Amino acid sequence: FRKMVYIGTFAYAGLLLVNLVMSFFGMNFLFGHGNILLLLGISAIGIGLAVFNLILDFDYIEQGIAMGADQSESWRAAFGLTVTMVWLYIEMLRLLSYLRR
């Protein structure tokens, strides 16, 4: 499960990076004014990946507590959780913006 989530997250990040580079040259193939079903599907995949990453973040925190990790390591878990929650929030806003079209 963990490996599949990592692969999916890196693939999604790569897709967003390719879209960013192409948008510099005037080609916005992913988040332009294209097929609304494709945009909704991509947003749903992004939300699903963010939720799965939240599950992995909470699992990381639970494992750290169970193994007695140092208190100085808590910032890493908190930062990862915060980044994932911000990512989920942005993906949900993107989905709502597509539904408003």
Per-residue confidence band for 27, with pLDDT thresholds at 50, 70 and 90: confident
Give the residue numbers spanning the domain of 15: 2-100
Average pLDDT over residues 69-74: 86
Nearest to 60, CA basis, from 76, 46, 72? 76
Total number of domains constituting the chain: 1
Q: With pLDDT > 90 as the criterion, what percentage of the chain qualifies?
A: 59
Compute the distance between CA of residue 87 and CA of residue 65 in angstroms, rounded to an integer. 25
pLDDT, tens only, 44-65: 999 999 999 999 999 999 999 9
pLDDT reading at 92 higher than 80: yes
Number of C-beta neighbours around residue 80 at 10 A = 16
